[in-house]
Amino acid sequence: MRKKVHRDTLIIHEGHDPHDHQDSLAVPLYQTSTYVFPDAASGAARFAGEEAGNIYSRLTNPTVRVLEERIAALEKGAGALVFGSGMAAVSAVLVHATKAGDHVLCTRGIYGCTFGLLNILEEKYGITHGLIPMRTEEEIERHVTPETSVIYIETPVNPTMEVADIRAAVSVARRHGLKVIVDNTFCSPYIQNPLDFGADFVLHSATKYINGHGDVIAGLLVGADEEEIGRIRMTVQKDFGGIVSPFDAWLMIRGLKTLAVRMERHCSNAEAVLNYLKTVPAVREVHYPFDDNHPDAEVAKRQMTAGGGIFSFTLDGGLEEARIFLDELRLVKLAVSLGDAESLIQHPATMTHSAVPGDERKAMGITDSMIRFSAGLEHPDDIIADLDAAFAVLKKRTAAAGAE
């Protein structure tokens, strides 16, 4: 592009010049598995890495390439890779950054399947892990062992919305020569750019805010070092093979164009619903990184530009109260995933975090009445009216139960 433009412009234009593609305004869909070499010498030169050009779509694809360039620019990285799911990105970067016998230090409360992957790595390759809050350098430093090779961060943590201090983790990592990987799914690149704070890798479940329309499963990995991203492309990505289809990349390019306007609405809707929830007697606590009562609000405001579209809250009571409330919702959809146009709600203790042993779940702060909410793009008054109707039923039922 002619000169540096703002982020909101980048996500619409970066990586695509219409004049390289039959003047097509939209990024064309190259739905092809392989590419035809002009001659044998050229094919050999491409395999030898001496000539630029496509070989096979598990390595490169022109549609996927646009998304790679766009997300790399958006996360301020040197290069990016697109995967067939968020978990394919997580597994690729963890396999790349560890070897048998290593130790991975993680934020407490990481995504369930990432936890599952760490258990596979431990069982098969002796790669152990520790799960800690990561609020201060001292806290992190204390858990680094001679085998530690990676600090793996999710912030804010799902669903407690605990915040990890990325800068503190990077500073510990620099002292010990560790790689820092940040799962930035909950924030999207619009709200937080971990590479700015010195992280080595940032990854996304693109299924969530990046695509934003609930119709694709995909993952993204962005690196601070172009050569290292190139190495991952030609090793774990190529040989484990967790790539994305060109069509899904094309859908993501389309979804990503509206990221800036969507994120603004996700955040303002989250805040409107939070303000409503604070007036509801049945709501005990709300957990949102930019809420003044949040214990990590200060760190959150240092590394995030907005509070995001996701929060959790707890009800007076337990499992029964949570179920009554959830079953009365009509507009707000009972579903896992997040970052879609539709407001989504789920019950961590029996859904996303049901595999975590009960006592561990309690230690993490996930109670039986905790509910996670992903604010959609609907009119905020309609979301609030739906919640309000469900709370009215809950109130009637608990009053009736109390009178029995």
Distances (CA, A) of 249 to 71, 81, 217, 284: 12, 11, 10, 42
- How many of the other CB atoms lie within 10 Å of CB of 275? 12
Contacts of 291 (CB under 8 A, 6+ apart): 274, 297, 307, 311
Alpha-carbon distance of 231 to 136, in angstroms, equals: 33
Q: Is residue 208 annotated as part of the catalytic site, yes or no?
A: yes
Report in angstroms how near the CB of residue 323 gets to ligand PLP at its nearest.
23
Q: Which of 46, 102, 108, 111 is catalytic?
A: 111
Instruction: Pick between residue 85 and residue 303 the one whose CB is nearest to ligand PLP.
Output: 85
Q: Could you say whether residue 106 binds ligand PLP (CB under 6 A)?
A: no
Residue from 98, 205, 314, 343 that binds ligand PLP (CB under 6 A)? 205
Report in angstroms how near the CB of residue 186 gets to ligand PLP at its nearest.
6
> Contacts with ligand PLP in 260-319 (CB under 6 A)?
none
Q: Could you say whether residue 158 binds ligand PLP (CB under 6 A)?
A: yes
Report in angstroms how near the CB of residue 109 gets to ligand PLP at its nearest.
10
17, 69 contact by CB (below 8 A): no
> Contacts with ligand PLP in 128-157 (CB under 6 A)?
154
387, 269 contact by CB (below 8 A): no
Instruction: Pick between residue 216 and residue 349 the one whose CB is nearest to ligand PLP.
Output: 216
Q: CB under 6 A: which stretch of 178-186, 235-243, 286-294, 374-382 binds ligand PLP?
A: 178-186
Q: Which of 65, 70, 208, 233 is catalytic?
A: 208
Report in angstroms how near the CB of residue 265 gets to ligand PLP at its nearest.
20
Contacts of 63 (CB under 8 A, 6+ apart): 27, 28, 29, 30, 31, 246, 249, 250, 253
Closest by Cα among 259, 350, 348, 352 to 306 = 259
373, 309 contact by CB (below 8 A): no
Q: Could you say whether residue 85 binds ligand PLP (CB under 6 A)?
A: yes
345, 371 contact by CB (below 8 A): yes
Report in angstroms how near the CB of residue 171 gets to ligand PLP at its nearest.
24
In the numeric block, the tokens 């967790």 are attached to 242
Q: Could you say whether residue 255 binds ligand PLP (CB under 6 A)?
A: no
Q: Is residue 179 annotated as part of the catalytic site, yes or no?
A: no
Rg (CA), the chain: 22
Q: CB under 6 A: which stretch of 52-60, 79-87, 170-178, 283-291 binds ligand PLP?
A: 79-87
b/e code 24-50 from CB counts within 10 Å (16+ = b):
eeebbbbeeeebebeeeeebeebeeee
Report in angstroms how near the CB of residue 286 gets to ligand PLP at its nearest.
20
Phi, psi (deg, nearest 5) at residue 32: -135, 145
Report in angstroms how near the CB of residue 203 gets to ligand PLP at its nearest.
8
Binding mask 215-254 for ligand PLP (x = CB under 6 A): --x-x-----------------------------------
Q: CB under 6 A: which stretch of 12-20, 84-92, 284-292, 393-401 binds ligand PLP?
A: 84-92
Alpha-carbon distance of 297 to 369, in angstroms, equals: 23
Tokens linked to 100: 């048998």
Element (H, E) at 125: helix 112-125
Instruction: Pick between residue 62 and residue 365 the one whose CB is nearest to ligand PLP.
Output: 365
∠ Cα 365 322 290 (to 5°)? 50
Report in angstroms how near the CB of residue 295 gets to ligand PLP at its nearest.
21
Residue from 160, 207, 269, 346 that binds ligand PLP (CB under 6 A)? 207
Residue from 87, 93, 182, 364 that binds ligand PLP (CB under 6 A)? 87
Question: How many residues sit close enough to ligand PLP to count as binding (CB under 6 A)?
Answer: 15
Residue from 73, 81, 108, 111 that binds ligand PLP (CB under 6 A)? 111
End-to-end CA distance of the chain: 71
Q: Could you say whether residue 183 binds ligand PLP (CB under 6 A)?
A: yes
Instruction: Pick between residue 30 and residue 152 the one whose CB is nearest to ligand PLP.
Output: 152
65, 229 contact by CB (below 8 A): no
Q: Which residues are catalytic?
A: 58, 111, 183, 208
Q: Which residues bind ligand PLP (CB under 6 A)?
A: 85-87, 111, 113, 154, 158, 183, 185-186, 205, 207-208, 217, 219
